[in-house]
Amino acid sequence: MDFSLSESQKTLLKEFRKWLRYEFRAFRLKEFWDHPNPRKRWEAQHFWHRRLFESRWIGLHWPCEYGGRGAGVIEEFLVLEELARRGISPGVNEIAIAMIGPLFLRHGTAGQKAAYLGKILSAEEIWCQGFSEPQAGSDLAALSTRAQENSESFLINGRKAWTSFAHRADRCLLMARTDAGVDRKEAGLSLFIVDMHAPGIEVRPIAQIDGEAEFCEITLDSVSVPKDQVLGPVNRGWGLALEAAGYERLSVQALYPIFRGFQELRGLLRLLPWVDGKLSKNPIFRQKFAQLAIETQALRCTALRVLAKAGPGLPNAESSLVRLFSKELEGRMAVFALEAIAASGEQSFRQGKVDWLKRFLTSRGVTIARGTSQMHRNLIARLLLGLPA
User: What is the C-alpha separation between 99 and 87, in angstroms, rounded?
Assistant: 24
User: What is the C-alpha separation between 149 and 226, in angstroms, rounded?
Assistant: 10
pLDDT greater than 70 at residue 198: yes
**Residue 321, C-beta contacts closer than 8 angstroms, at least 6 positions apart:** 302, 306, 380, 384
User: What is the C-alpha separation between 130 and 191, in angstroms, rounded?
Assistant: 9
Calculate what percentage of the chain has a pLDDT beyond 90.
62
Structural domains of the chain, ranges and CATH numbers in brackets: 7-122 (1.10.540.10), 127-241 (2.40.110.10), 251-385 (1.20.140.10)
Write down the mean pLDDT value for the chain. 90
Q: What is the pLDDT of residue 108?
A: 98
Calculate what percentage of the chain has a pLDDT beyond 70.
95
Q: What are phi and psi of 156, to 5 degrees?
A: -105, 130
Of the candidate ranges 5-9, 88-92, 189-193, the one whose mean pLDDT is the lowest: 88-92
Q: What is the pLDDT of residue 33?
A: 67
Side chain identity at residue 210, one-letter code: D
**Residue 223, C-beta contacts closer than 8 angstroms, at least 6 positions apart:** 155, 156, 157, 194, 198, 199, 200, 201
Of the candidate ranges 116-125, 219-228, 235-244, the one whose mean pLDDT is the lowest: 235-244
What would the mean pLDDT of 137-165 be, rounded to a whole number?
Answer: 92
Return the bridge partners of 146, or none. 157, 177
**Residue 202, C-beta contacts closer than 8 angstroms, at least 6 positions apart:** 218, 219, 221
Of the candidate ranges 50-64, 195-209, 244-258, the one whose mean pLDDT is the lowest: 244-258
Side chain identity at residue 168, one-letter code: R
Nearest alpha-carbon partner for 215 in 169, 166, 172? 166
Confidence class for position 247, pLDDT limits 50, 70, 90: confident
Side chain identity at residue 58, one-letter code: I
User: What is the C-alpha separation between 387 and 389, in angstroms, rounded?
Assistant: 7
Say if residues 224 and 155 touch (Cβ distance below 8 Å): yes
pLDDT greater than 70 at residue 159: yes
What would the mean pLDDT of 56-85 be, rounded to a whole number?
Answer: 94
What would the mean pLDDT of 185-192 be, rounded to a whole number?
Answer: 95
- b vs e for 197-210, b when ≥16 Cβ sit within 10 Å of the residue's Cβ? eeeebebebeeeeb
Nearest alpha-carbon partner for 217 in 208, 207, 204? 204
User: What is the C-alpha separation between 307 and 176, in angstroms, rounded?
Assistant: 31
- N residues, the chain: 389
pLDDT tens digits, one per residue of 282-341: 899 999 999 999 999 999 999 999 988 876 556 677 888 998 999 999 999 999 999 999
What would the mean pLDDT of 138-147 be, rounded to a whole number?
Answer: 89
Q: What is the pLDDT of residue 349?
A: 84
What would the mean pLDDT of 8-25 be, rounded to a whole number?
Answer: 91
- Residue 85: which region, alpha, beta or left (left: phi > 0; alpha: psi -120 to 50)? alpha
- b vs e for 229-250, b when ≥16 Cβ sit within 10 Å of the residue's Cβ? bbbbebebbbebbebbbbbbbb
